[in-house]
Structure 1
């Protein structure tokens, strides 16, 4: 009896996990449909949103994906700048510096690469990067297929007049982040609910904020 109950419980747990996994994969696929391929070339900048570096200082797979997406946009649209943004928000490793090393390996020259190393979260990724973006006709936000939408919302809230200039470019291959898509999707859902509930209706919640230099 105990064994049978345990098997039933285990089946329910597995079914729930598989359901969540499939929903997360679908969310990432649907997220890609909102990305814009963009038109034209030149006079554009690409902002690569940060993600925590591995505790040993190595590049996290999500960082790798975001930088690759950003470099592709930089090349495809003949942009003038690639901005990597992120401080040492979760460990002692500065996200932007780690991503910049990889961007250089992919061929981005130093005079086209900007390291923004103050931002501690997505809102600050936008805020701290605004001075580097203001003179461009087009702004590409590079991230994964879900996070890019939130980053664009944040830029449009901080700089409503810039919103028409913003395009999003994301990356994700089905099953390429197995084990990560469920928590990533849940976090984006939480962030969306939190923003609608607490911040989007507040003037102070829409003001840019960038921490002082460390």
Structure 2
């Protein structure tokens, strides 16, 4: 292959890579602001009660993997310091012998230093079950945040709208989207969302 052809091929590869990253960032940003509620309930007599629901990811070993570490950190930074917050960690034994929720909790406590209120949901094996099983744990919250990779969190919010529209009205945005953060994870999550949408049409 001649040098000019190599240069053109390299340039095309760079343009394609930049386009893929830009698309993934757009999907992530857009997903993080969709399917939110009409407004969280406000309370004047006490702090607003907030539930931050973190959706787990398959984890084979005892230590949280890269994706679960990101999700926990995103959940922790989503906590409103002015609210009475509870961290709700979801996930059963999908890929390993230990529930994902337990692994998430250990990472939050031991490695992130979280000392606040925490509740575990350890039976679910799918996103639908995550949301369904979390409902009894979040019913009393005035504001609800569902946190994961942004496209996955959007699916969780969609499921809550189907299962409990009254609770979905209390949905507010989490803080999972930050420009330039965990770009490889964003690309995978955006592609998975595309596959999920295409499959849903069948």
Using the size of structure 1 for normalisation, the TM-score is: 0.74
Count of aligned positions: 194
The structure 2 residue matched to 1:69, chosen from 27, 52, 74, is: 74
- Are residues 1:48 and 2:57 paired? no
The structure 1 residue matched to 2:114, chosen from 107, 117, 122, is: 107
Contact residue 90 and residue 121 of structure 2 kept, 8 A: yes
The structure 1 residue matched to 2:195, chosen from 190, 195, 200, is: 190
Contiguous gaps of at least 5 residues in structure 1: 199-214
User: Distance between the aligned counterparts of 1:46 and 1:76, measured in 2?
Assistant: 12
Query: 1:189 Cα deviation (Å)?
Result: 2.0
Per-residue CA deviation, residues 15-67 of structure 1 (Å, 9 max, x unaligned), is 433321221123223334557896854223221111223x4432223322322
User: Distance between the aligned counterparts of 1:75 and 1:180, measured in 2?
Assistant: 25
- The corresponding residue for 1:174 is 179
Q: For the structure 1 residues 8 and 92, does the alpha-carbon distance in structure 2 shift closer, same or farther, using more than 3 Å as the test?
A: farther
User: Distance between the aligned counterparts of 2:3 and 2:166, measured in 1?
Assistant: 63
Query: 1:4 Cα deviation (Å)?
Result: 7.5
User: Distance between the aligned counterparts of 1:139 and 1:117, measured in 2?
Assistant: 19
Deviation above 6 Å: which 4+ runs of structure 1? 2-7, 35-39
Using the size of structure 2 for normalisation, the TM-score is: 0.78
Greater RCO (Cα-Cα under 8 Å, separation 6 or more)? 2
Contiguous gaps of at least 5 residues in structure 2: none
- Are residues 1:158 and 2:156 paired? no
User: Distance between the aligned counterparts of 1:162 and 1:15, measured in 2?
Assistant: 43
Per-residue CA deviation, residues 76-131 of structure 1 (Å, 9 max, x unaligned), is 2423422100112233442111110122243234xx21111111121111011111
